[in-house]
Structure 1
Amino acid sequence: MIKLIGTGVWIVLITLGSVYFSLKMASAPKVDTAAAEREAALEFVSGYTTTVPVIGEGGVNGYLLTRLAYKANKDLAAKQTVPLPQMITDELYTLLVGKKMIDVATVGSFDVDAFRGIVKEGLNRRFGAEVIAEVYVEQIDYITTASVQDPAPKRGQTLIKGEVPAGQPAEKSGGH
């Protein structure tokens, strides 16, 4: 009889221990409030299509059409004296014309992640604060001057076709 009672007590203790352990492990995950606040402070800024001339020997060889999107800090972006789209366009001209980040002759050598990082770094340096959190490449196209003068098919090429994260607003109308 004592063995039976001892076995029953042992089963009850094991059951209670496993239920307690299961409830402890199944509790809600801890929320990183700092990360949630940082994400709430960001807004999605859809970029305009920017046309940048590709200057080579003898003049303009073609045009890079770029469309980038950004996640920016709402408060810091609102404090800027120069509007965000104009500053972004200027930085793209600096990178793509001044520093020649994209070599159209060797498309395969273009590093998209490095380009995003350099755009983000350059914009934040010019703003004097961490305004831009992320840069998204929607598309970069190259159109030759010959295709502009004689628009036959297959004269231009898409260099990069990116995707903006799901759930983001559509592109704003207008262009530069």
Structure 2
Amino acid sequence: MLKLVLTGIWVCAVTLGSVYFSMQYASAPVISEAEAARRASEEYVPGEIITVPVIKDGAVQGYFLAKLSFSATREGIADLHAPLRQLVTDELYDMLLGSKLIDVADTRSFDLPSFKGAVKDGLNKKLGSEVITEVLVEQLEYLTKDDVQRVANSQNMPHQKPVPIVDRNGKVAADRIPEGAVKADGGAH
């Protein structure tokens, strides 16, 4: 019994010692004062999901879905005449639909860093100063018109055969078999 108590005390002492020393040697990442001041002066602004139709040859070819969030200066946000989220959404529509910033249908030529830079520069130009400090991409998708129709028609879900209802004795309840289902004996209903 004494060995068991001493073993328990030893295990507790080793555990507490290892926790103490690991906490002493663990340190938070070192951030410069300039970086800390910059982070303190910025605010995270969550974006909204926007859907931009891709129109080619007078017809809708697909849809570009985007959800972008932003880091912005607190001073810049305070000086705005309208909420930042609505200004950003409006400018994104202008950039993506009005000025054809990118060809979203051509995914091979899409360059994410240049897209983020163009969005940041365009937003800061519209806002009149360096309000946006960073563009954060949460979602970018391109859906063709066929993709949207397939989802709308639920064609993306695999078709399953109906399962007949079987009682405790293993007999199929014939009055509950859906039309076109296969009976347990292999015959069609």
- Structure of higher CA gyration radius: 2
CA distance in 2, matches of 1:104, 1:38: 33
Residue in 1 that maps onto 2:126: 126
For 1:89-108, list aligned pairs within 5 A.
89-108=89-108
Q: CA RMSD in A?
A: 2.1
Query: Where do 5+ consecutive residues of structure 2 fail to align?
Result: 1-29, 158-189
C-alpha displacement of 1:132: 0.5
Question: Are residue 138 (structure 1) and residue 141 (structure 2) matched?
Answer: no
C-alpha displacement of 1:56: 1.0
User: SS at the partner of 1:103?
Assistant: coil
For 2:79, the aligned partner's letter is: K
Q: TM-score normalised to the size of structure 1?
A: 0.64
C-alpha displacement of 1:99: 2.6
For 1:102-117, list aligned pairs within 5 A.
102-117=102-117
For 2:93, the aligned partner's letter is: Y
Query: Where do 5+ consecutive residues of structure 1 fail to align?
Result: 1-29, 155-176
With 90-99 and 31-40 compared, the bigger mean Cα shift is at 31-40
With 92-101 and 134-143 compared, the bigger mean Cα shift is at 92-101
Q: CA distance change for structure 1 residues 142 and 33 in 2, over 3 Å: closer, same or farther?
A: same
CA distance in 2, matches of 1:133, 1:76: 10
Residue in 1 that maps onto 2:50: 50
User: SS at the partner of 1:76?
Assistant: helix
Deviations 1:86-113 (A, max 9, x none): 1111111122112323324421211111
CA distance in 2, matches of 1:144, 1:37: 44
Q: TM-score normalised to the size of structure 2?
A: 0.60
Residue in 1 that maps onto 2:177: none
CA distance in 2, matches of 1:31, 1:148: 46
In the comparison of the two structures, how many residue pairs are matched? 125
Residue in 2 that maps onto 1:63: 63
Question: Are residue 153 (structure 1) and residue 156 (structure 2) matched?
Answer: yes
C-alpha displacement of 1:64: 0.7
With a CA cutoff of 8 Å and minimum separation of 6, indicate the structure with the bigger relative contact order: 1
CA distance in 2, matches of 1:145, 1:114: 26
User: SS at the partner of 1:114?
Assistant: helix
User: SS at the partner of 1:126?
Assistant: helix
Identity of aligned residues (%): 46
More strand by share: 1
Work out whether residues 65 and 140 of structure 2, in 8 Å CA contact, stay in contact via their aligned partners in 1: yes
